[in-house]
Amino acid sequence: MNVLGISGTPRKNGNSHILLEHSLAPFRESGWDVTILGLHDLTVQPCKACDHCRSYNGKCIIEDDMGLFYDAFRRCHALIVSTPVYYRNVSAQLKAVFDRHYAVTPEQPLRGKPGGAIAVGAGQGGGQAMTVAIVHNWFSSCGALTVPGELNGVSAVAQAEGDILKQEKRLKQARILGENVLQVAVKLNSEQVGPPDAEKWQGEIREGLTSPSALPPRG
């Protein structure tokens, strides 16, 4: 079993990347193969809107590191996406990955696979919730299933490198997100043959997952 972690920060060891690592810990502990594709050291150019992929069986005309993502989309059984918040949106590097997924839309490599989202901004009300929703919207566009963490995705406030390491509650929330995605992925793969009924599963996906009442009160 393989889980894909996509790190949308262009900064090595960014706070969103640290939370991603914490969210993937439950998968490592369960013996899963973990693939992390970090956009701090990969190059994915913007989509050219040329439709070359539609004429050549999903092959994108751009030759860059996006091929790693296409392969990872096909191999993974679950995914978690993390990103810093830039102008109430995902990073430009991550948005390019989202747009370039268009090439494999007919194939639907992420259909029925559970995913979680992490967003880190520099201030309160900096667009973290909106950014999580943007990642979730991409999941829906790909046919993937959105899995919540404590309440929704993981949102955090941090700016300087390593700031998030001082926030034990956010590190715990990242782990809970990973545990929830893992739980859904295991259930899906034990009960389903082929892609699951996305509408059915999205309606039932919160049942049995870690709830806010299981966590310490917010402070």
DSSP string, 113-127: -EEEEEEEESSTTSS
Residue 217 has pLDDT above 90, yes or no: no
C-beta of residue 9 within 8 angstroms of C-beta of residue 84: yes
Amino acid present at 199: E
pTM for this predicted structure: 0.88
pLDDT tens-digit series, residues 48-85: 999 999 999 999 999 999 999 999 999 999 999 999 99
* CATH number, domain 2-214: 3.40.50.360
The type of residue at 173 is Q
Residue 196 pLDDT exceeds 80: no
Q: How far apart are CA 173 and CA 113, in angstroms?
A: 21
Query: At 188, which amino acid appears?
Result: L
Supply 11's token pair. 């900064």
Q: Which pLDDT score, from 0 to 100, does residue 125 have?
A: 79
Q: Within a 10 A sphere around the Cβ of 157, how many other Cβ atoms? A: 18
> Which tokens in the block code for residue 219?
């402070």
In the predicted structure, residue 105 carries a pLDDT above the cut 50:
yes
Specify the pLDDT at position 96.
Answer: 98
> 137 vs 210, which has greater pLDDT?
137
| pLDDT band at residue 219 under the 50/70/90 scheme | very low
CA atoms within 13 A on the CB side of 157: 5
CB 79 within 8 A of CB 115: yes
For the record, the structure tokens of 127 come out as 């667009």
Domain boundaries of the chain, sorted by first residue: 2-214
